[in-house]
Structure 1
Amino acid sequence: MAPNNVNVDIGVFGLGTMGSALALNLAENGFRVAVSNKHADRIPVFLAQANELAGNLVGYPDIAEFIASIARPRSILFMIPSGAPVDAMIDVVLPLLDDGDTIIDGGNADFHDTRRRSAAFSGTGKHFVGMGVSGGAEGARHGPSMMVGGTAHSWSLLRPMLRKIAAKFEGDPCVDHLGPDGAGHFVKTVHNGIEYADMQMIAEIYGLMRDAGGFKAAEIGAQFETWQSGPLSSYLIEVSAAALQTVDARSGEPLVDMILDKAGQKGTGRWTLIEALKLGQSASAIEAAVGARGWSSEKDLRVAAEPLLPAVAHKAAFPSPEELKSALLAARVLAHAQGFRVLAAASDEFEWHLDMTRIAEIWRAGCIIRSILLDDIADAFRAGLPEGALILSPSIRDLLAAHLGGLRKTVAAGVSLGIPVPALGAALAWYDTMRTAKGTANLIQAQRDFFGSHGFERIDDPGVHHGDWKPIAVS
């Protein structure tokens, strides 16, 4: 039985991979942590594995004792599956709380749920925080990037602890209060959407090099490793380089070649796409990445289709390593730009007043999409954006101008050779659309008015107009 009235600094409920890692991170940084878990037998195992950190940890199988042990005003971090389990735990814990106490949901929650819960807490004297946590288990244990949404009261309680345990970029903690209710969880959702695009683009470059260039996995990994020292430097490039150069102990083959080419997803990439569409924004690179994961699951169909659907490929010059590098860099810039457009639209829609500079800054360390590129993006936001568009920033324009040629050649090679490059192609198509002052939607508006009398705007006369269309024969 754990002692009563310990007055610990924070409680962590949920001792799965992420919850355990965050509890140990807090304990290592000198905070006293109460821990509890749905399955009580996990608690003594966790405490035994904590070794020298166990002195800052106290386990409570009983929820009432767990809550009572936390110093007031209390901070209780839920690290449990999102959705119904969070609502169920709120129902259990809320009657045990006092005015000023805060519940924090640290999972990958749908921000709509977070907004709903925050609204339900409003006026009760209790507080609800939605906190996005990125960096995986290693980040949670040694320094994650954290995106906090909630009340100023809750942030004042959490700030000292979260700044202490967060990843640091040149001494700056990668955590901040981004806005009320669902702001933190939404920013984490878009982070994950950008992550989807980034991973897919890297995979497409790998596919081109493997299937059209004839490179072996280790050779591609070695090439990626050289890119890690330049403008492509990022955690995902580092991970990819290491993965491609790993040998399978069982077969002696590259481990990546022994992995079935079916990728799963947990929903955040899809949520980014759904919310982008609701907000009237383009997230085409993220959409392509989400779609590619869906296509990957249709393995049997792809195996059956390969001999039946020939590529009818045309000869094309294979891009040089420098052109492939440029392609990946330009496409990543465009995917990030799309993600920040979605964040800006949501900030306006929900009146969050998101600080884009700060978001870029707290993504520079700890999180999965951390990269040197985010420094350039933060600088661009800091300097101010023409028309509020990242792609119009002078520094970003220069970066794109230097590398768009490689992206064009790489996409053209993929199309000519029959190698799929959905995310790279989507990024390029968006760029070309945005740089085209006179597009083709005038014909779409003509079509809509022709068959549905939807109306259109004229270039020479304000208001809604209808066309006197040439009739067609009805068959």
Structure 2
Amino acid sequence: MSEQAGTARATIGLTGLAVMGRNLARNIARHGHTIAVHNRTTAKMQDLLDEHGDEGDFVGTESLEEFVQAIEKPRVVLVMVKAGPGTDAVIDDLVPLLDEGDIVVDCGNAHYADTMRRTEQLQEHGLHFVGTGVSGGEEGALNGPSIMVGGTDQAYERLGPILESIAAQVDGEPCCAHVGEGGAGHFVKMVHNGIEYADMQLIAESYDLLRSIGGLEPAEIADVFGRWNEGELESFLIQMTADVLRHTDSGTGQPFVDVVKDAAEQKGTGRWTVQSALDLGVPITGIAEATFARSLSGHGEQRAAARKVFTTDPDEQRVDVDREAFVDDVQAALYASKVVAYAQGFDQIKAGAEEHGWDIDLGQVAKIWRDGCIIRARFLGRITEAYTDEPDLTTLLTTAFFADAVKEGVDAWRHVVATAAQGGVPVPAFGSSLSYFDGLRRERLPASLIQALRDNFGAHTYQRIDREGTFHTAWAGDLSESEA
């Protein structure tokens, strides 16, 4: 049922009824919660009541004042508006209407630094601010997303049961958790999206390799991805890839993927992930290259100019491969590179938690990503097990299961990257992931030369492997060494 606001009887409220907010409100109502709904444009609120009012108990409100009054204290207000200034504007309008102890929940893709700022801002008014990452897109919002909640324990006591009831469920457990205070929820969601960038780029590179070098057509590649989805690579994105590659454009009769412009857009979370990793000193090479690959795809004028100068006869870069063997090699390379991407992402979450004092349970993060979110995949269960068995794990790559998988696939991985280079097919995510793996396992890196050069031109000092201390060499003088 639905009705206009009167007395305060809604257990939760939601303002911002674009597609994500609308679907989330419907999900909440379907799970037995009375929800007050509001939108800056009243018509959107009324459309929701007219079309879906029979799905649950909605309380329609036309003004923010009416909206706030309709919610039981301590109030829980979900904000589902565009991240940035739009969120700040809604918060500024809400704060004067709220009472001490009320809870404001930002469910948008906010930058975690903004969430930390807003948390401090609302604390001054006696209010709880909860930055919450919601993953799963429109379908997830309606049918069960993965939810990463920040904020205080007190706020989660009031909010948690509602969000856990609407989240995706795996083995009777909700894909929703309180991951930490302050900006922890949005930080974890940001890294989730960074991993998503890497995952999608690796999938796209696999498709390109199978088509450009393997000679398979999109429908054949769809069948390959369909088979891969029956094994350890099983995931939401692998299944979606098969669906997209099977689709034929109704207007032209061509494979749908061939009529889509090859310029990938981004909303900023991948860029934020890379910027944060640089600040934290965490090498997330696969995620970074995936982000830069999207940027390159959008530089149409540069690409067109380069094609005029550097285009070569396709026969000059043709590489003969055993098609079936190459498909298997790409599968192994994809799996190994995917492990690297997730390992790097979890490294970043760990570093962010240490930097900001968040007590983030990495095993729990993997557990709530098992369903509802875009990067849900079979092997997230393996990651959960790894961090459950060893909470202080140095890197996922050294756990028995993933180490064995990488060892088994490393020769294929190298073959794929080498073949791509021979054939002129760009594989930035595959290549950078392999280089990261090689760098990680190498006993000596050429960083020793870099550090010596830094000392030479800038007296930045260096450390030695044979004794303790920090040293400087008089490069412009007698080459004597002194302890700094």
- Alignment correspondent of 2:482: none
- The AA in structure 2 aligned to 1:393 is T
The answer to which of 227-236 and 39-48 deviates more is 39-48
- Alignment correspondent of 2:234: 233
The Cα of 1:304 is off from its aligned counterpart by 3.0
* Residues 9 and 71, structure 2, Cα contact 8 Å, conserved in 1: yes
The Cα of 1:394 is off from its aligned counterpart by 2.0
> Matches of residues 342-353 of structure 1 in structure 2 within 5 Å?
342-353=348-359
The Cα of 1:2 is off from its aligned counterpart by 2.0
- Alignment correspondent of 1:442: 448
- Alignment correspondent of 2:403: 397
- Deviations along 1:309-368, one digit per CA (max 9) or x if unpaired, are 146637464652111111110000000000001001001000101100000000000000
The Cα of 1:468 is off from its aligned counterpart by 4.2
Secondary structure class of the residue paired with 1:466: strand
- Alignment correspondent of 1:461: 467
Give the distance between the partners of 1:315 and 1:245, measured in 2 at CA.
26
Give the distance between the partners of 2:337 and 2:260, measured in 1 at CA.
26
The Cα of 1:123 is off from its aligned counterpart by 4.9
- Alignment correspondent of 1:23: 25
* Residues 60 and 66, structure 1, Cα contact 8 Å, conserved in 2: yes
* Residues 235 and 375, structure 2, Cα contact 8 Å, conserved in 1: yes
- Alignment correspondent of 1:291: 292
Distance 1:316 1:460, change over 3 A: farther
Distance 1:470 1:317, change over 3 A: farther
The Cα of 1:390 is off from its aligned counterpart by 1.5
Give the distance between the partners of 1:72 and 1:404, measured in 2 at CA.
57
1:168 to 2:173 alignment: no
Across the aligned residues of Structure 1 and Structure 2, the Cα RMSD in angstroms comes to 1.6
The Cα of 1:379 is off from its aligned counterpart by 0.9
Give the distance between the partners of 1:455 and 1:44, measured in 2 at CA.
67
- Deviations along 1:383-434, one digit per CA (max 9) or x if unpaired, are 1167622212222211211222221111111111110000010110000000
- Alignment correspondent of 1:39: 41
- Alignment correspondent of 2:317: 313
Secondary structure class of the residue paired with 2:310: coil
> Matches of residues 11-410 of structure 1 in structure 2 within 5 Å?
11-53=13-55, 55-310=56-311, 313=317, 315=319, 317=321, 320-384=326-390, 388-410=394-416
* Residues 380 and 396, structure 1, Cα contact 8 Å, conserved in 2: no
* Residues 214 and 327, structure 2, Cα contact 8 Å, conserved in 1: no
Give the distance between the partners of 2:467 and 2:8, measured in 1 at CA.
74
Give the distance between the partners of 1:64 and 1:228, measured in 2 at CA.
50
- TM-score normalised over the length of structure 2: 0.94
The Cα of 1:122 is off from its aligned counterpart by 2.3
* Residues 313 and 418, structure 1, Cα contact 8 Å, conserved in 2: yes
Aligned residues: 471
Give the distance between the partners of 2:477 and 2:469, measured in 1 at CA.
24
- TM-score normalised over the length of structure 1: 0.96
Secondary structure class of the residue paired with 2:177: strand
- The AA in structure 2 aligned to 1:173 is P
The Cα of 1:136 is off from its aligned counterpart by 0.2
The answer to which of 192-201 and 449-458 deviates more is 449-458
* Residues 213 and 321, structure 2, Cα contact 8 Å, conserved in 1: no
The answer to which of 453-462 and 305-314 deviates more is 305-314
- Deviations along 1:427-458, one digit per CA (max 9) or x if unpaired, are 10000000002111110011111111111111
The Cα of 1:178 is off from its aligned counterpart by 0.5
> Matches of residues 398-437 of structure 1 in structure 2 within 5 Å?
398-437=404-443
The Cα of 1:152 is off from its aligned counterpart by 0.8
Give the distance between the partners of 2:218 and 2:232, measured in 1 at CA.
22
Give the distance between the partners of 2:301 and 2:287, measured in 1 at CA.
25
* Residues 386 and 393, structure 1, Cα contact 8 Å, conserved in 2: no
Give the distance between the partners of 1:179 and 1:140, measured in 2 at CA.
22
* Residues 10 and 70, structure 1, Cα contact 8 Å, conserved in 2: yes
Percent sequence identity is 42
Give the distance between the partners of 1:355 and 1:117, measured in 2 at CA.
24
- Deviations along 1:108-166, one digit per CA (max 9) or x if unpaired, are 00000000111122253211000000000000000000000001111001111111100
Distance 1:259 1:448, change over 3 A: same
Give the distance between the partners of 2:203 and 2:477, measured in 1 at CA.
50
* Residues 12 and 79, structure 1, Cα contact 8 Å, conserved in 2: yes
Secondary structure class of the residue paired with 2:453: helix
Distance 1:387 1:37, change over 3 A: closer
The answer to which of 317-326 and 113-122 deviates more is 317-326
The Cα of 1:469 is off from its aligned counterpart by 3.5
Distance 1:121 1:273, change over 3 A: same
- The AA in structure 2 aligned to 1:353 is D
The Cα of 1:471 is off from its aligned counterpart by 7.9
* Residues 362 and 391, structure 2, Cα contact 8 Å, conserved in 1: no
The Cα of 1:98 is off from its aligned counterpart by 1.3
* Residues 14 and 78, structure 1, Cα contact 8 Å, conserved in 2: yes
The Cα of 1:306 is off from its aligned counterpart by 2.1
- Deviations along 1:237-258, one digit per CA (max 9) or x if unpaired, are 0000000000111111111111
